[in-house]
Structure 1
């Protein structure tokens, strides 16, 4: 379901079918990037990509489940960071694998 601001809500599905966190974005990839940043970060992007995790995001109000390979890595914060930001940040990336439809 699309909200008034054009964004959609996606729910992170666990392997057992339970649903936990909600991420919003105008596109599924935008929500998946937000979910990827919550993964345990690895040392570099190349190392992180080798340990990619499969995540499933169900679009709320539909039976569509978007499947992504996701990975995260630790990186230095930019030089012009605000005072409250820590020295290290987590970056993430995703690669879409496909869409499934729930048969519930």
Structure 2
């Protein structure tokens, strides 16, 4: 269900169907990228990053968006502000599909 600013909320689901976190974004992919940055297993580079499946249920809907997600750490840009850490987490996702659930 869209908010006044156009953002939608997506609940991160585990394998048992428990919803542990909520990420917001204008699109499911935007929320999936936010969730992917929080993955515990990160690679040294994008090519070495382990891939994990993440599932995001759109709040107010029975749609579950399924993504293949991976994250890695890299050096922050040379022109980064002082408050930014030396290493930042980058992430990417690839959509696998949509499922509809009945337990909402």
TM-score band by shorter chain is: over 0.9
Structure 1 unaligned spans of 5+:
none
The count of corresponding residues between Structure 1 and Structure 2 is 102
For 1:17-66, what per-residue CA distance to the aligned partner results, in whole angstroms no more than 9, with x for missing partners?
A: 11011100000000000000001321110011xx2000000000000000
Q: Which residue pairs with 2:10 in the alignment?
A: 10
Structure 1 runs (4+) deviating above 6 angstroms are none
CA deviation after TM superposition for structure 1 residue 80, in Å = 1.1
Matches within 5 A, 1:21-100: 21-40=21-40, 41-48=42-49, 51-100=50-99
CA deviation after TM superposition for structure 1 residue 81, in Å = 0.9
For 1:70-104, what per-residue CA distance to the aligned partner results, in whole angstroms no more than 9, with x for missing partners?
A: 00001100111111111000000000000000022
* Structure with a larger share of its residues in helix: 1
Let me know the Cα RMSD of the aligned residues: 0.7
CA distance, structure 2, for counterparts of residue 80 and residue 58 of structure 1: 37
Secondary structure of 2:10's aligned partner: strand
